[in-house]
Amino acid sequence: MSYAPIPMVPGPVALHEDVIAVLGRDYGSGQVESDFLCLYDATSRSIGKLMGTKDDVVLMTGEGMLALWGALKSCLKPGDHVVSVGTGVFGDGIGEMAESFGCIVEKVSLPYDCSIRESDLAAVEEAIRRVKPVMLTAVHCETPSGTLNPIGLLGKLKKDLGVPLFYVDTVAGLGGAPVHMDEWNVDLMLGGSQKCLSCPPSMSMVGVSAAAWERMKEVNYQGYDAILPFRTVRTDGRCPYTPNWHGVAALYAGTQAIFKEGMDAAFARHEAVAAQCRAGLAELGIKLWTAPDAVNAPTVTAAMIPEGFTWPEWKEALRRHGLICTGSFGPMDGKVFRLGHMGTQAQPYLMEQALDAIAATLGK
């Protein structure tokens, strides 16, 4: 049973039934049972398949932000130069995170209602040539803005200009849209369990290239969110701290549900429900936040709160009709509401119910 009649929060999403089933089991200690190591290995490989990589994938206990912080601190030192490309709160936020522990960040901040365009690449290239960064950062799916970025374009720049590391947040797209870590020249691909994988917010995942491992050895960061200590988990069977067997089991169940459906079919389902959402909102006279030339995310839609409503009023009015959704952040705060059609929530019948609830709230 879902937490809401019509769940449309863009994470954590309603859990998949197979995930619920494995969470209800009793497991032994992952520190002493070989079964856990087998599961960790299988889950790591499954996430790698979704990420489009043959590189190592680390599984850490903690929601997606753990991966975002851990990858930065594991690969950067105070004084290192970073170029961050931002089309939203998280893109610019990654730059602020790096600044917080002493990195020198060159921000290429783009409009929050747009995706990265080919015409934006000149500014990114200029910044890279000027500051010669250790790392280039970007976000695949900007959840607060409802946009999707063409990471492959940045990955080509990274390779052509010789940037050592490319860091990409795919928390809100992994499992709901195609990602290609190896093809896009990504060194650090970050994921979280609570969105398209339909799991609790208990696990984060990091795809790590060989170059990133070498950099981690040089930096030698050893905090709780450090990635380097996980390098040998699959070979020596020892985690740096107590592993979350339930979390890994849930993550494995979430990936297998996608594989059972078929990755292409799952991606097509997300695209179809997203299109259904945008068309339905247009029929109701609700405008999207995104610019006409933006690439709208298949996992979340950002729309303008109708005139005559504040966000608290709109939220509570929708809730009275059974629809649970969220507002947004930064410049979208108080202006935008978001529908999270990701994972288990990317279903035509649920979107139909959501649109009916919006129509009823508007008296249509």
Q: What size, in residues, is the chain?
A: 364
Query: For residue 278, is it within any domain?
Result: yes
Query: For residue 56, is it within any domain?
Result: yes
Which pLDDT belongs to residue 136?
99
- Token pair belonging to 99: 């600044």
Q: Give the whole-number percent of the chain exceeding pLDDT 70.
A: 99
My answer on whether 99 and 237 are in the same domain is yes
Q: Is 341 helix (H, G, I), strand (E, B) or coil?
A: coil
Q: Is 167 helix (H, G, I), strand (E, B) or coil?
A: strand
Q: Is 344 helix (H, G, I), strand (E, B) or coil?
A: helix
- As a whole number of angstroms, the distance between CA 212 and CA 2 comes to 39
Query: For residue 186, is it within any domain?
Result: yes
My answer on whether 267 and 255 are in the same domain is no
Of the candidates 259, 277, 299, which is a domain's last residue? 259
The four Cα atoms 254, 255, 261, 265 give a dihedral, to 10 degrees, of: 110
- Token pair belonging to 128: 């890279």
My answer on whether 253 and 272 are in the same domain is no
Which pLDDT belongs to residue 33?
76
Which residues are known binding-site members? Answer: 338
Q: Where are the alpha helices (DSSP H) in the chain?
A: 17-23, 34-51, 64-75, 89-100, 121-131, 151-161, 210-219, 233-236, 245-261, 263-283, 311-320, 348-361
Q: How many domains does the chain have?
A: 2
My answer on whether 21 and 155 are in the same domain is yes
Which pLDDT belongs to residue 4?
72
My answer on whether 75 and 158 are in the same domain is yes
> Residue 257 pLDDT > 90, yes or no?
yes
**Residue 109: φ, ψ to 5°:** -95, 120
Query: For residue 349, is it within any domain?
Result: yes
pTM to 2 decimal places? 0.96
The whole-number average pLDDT for the span 56-73 is: 97
**Do the beta carbons of residue 288 and residue 272 sit within 8 Å?**
no
Query: For residue 111, is it within any domain?
Result: yes
Which pLDDT belongs to residue 30?
75
Q: How far is CA 27 from the centre of its chain?
A: 28
Which range (31-45, 97-111, 189-203, 286-300) has the least confidence? 31-45
Integer distance in angstroms from the first to the last C-alpha of the chain?
Answer: 29
Query: For residue 1, is it within any domain?
Result: no
My answer on whether 286 and 349 are in the same domain is yes
My answer on whether 142 and 194 are in the same domain is yes
My answer on whether 243 and 314 are in the same domain is no
Q: How confident is the model at residue 1 (pLDDT cuts 50, 70, 90)?
A: very low
| CATH code of the domain in which 341 resides | 3.90.1150.10
- Token pair belonging to 135: 């790392």
> Residue 2 pLDDT > 70, yes or no?
no
Q: Where in the sequence is the domain holding 333, given as residue range(s)?
A: 6-13+263-362
Q: How confident is the model at residue 235 (pLDDT cuts 50, 70, 90)?
A: confident
| CATH code of the domain in which 167 resides | 3.40.640.10
**Residue 234: φ, ψ to 5°:** -75, -15
> Residue 32 pLDDT > 80, yes or no?
no
My answer on whether 174 and 312 are in the same domain is no
Closest CA to 128 of 94, 155, 150: 155
> Residue 315 pLDDT > 90, yes or no?
yes
My answer on whether 197 and 66 are in the same domain is yes
The four Cα atoms 16, 21, 25, 31 give a dihedral, to 10 degrees, of: -40
- As a whole number of angstroms, the distance between CA 227 and CA 208 comes to 9
My answer on whether 297 and 347 are in the same domain is yes
Of the candidates 233, 259, 285, which is a domain's last residue? 259
Strand 81-86 to strand 104-109: parallel, antiparallel, or no bridges (unpaired)?
Answer: parallel
Query: For residue 54, is it within any domain?
Result: yes
Number of CB atoms found within 10 A of residue 221's CB: 18
**Residue 328: φ, ψ to 5°:** -140, -165
Which residues are known binding-site members for substrate? Answer: 338
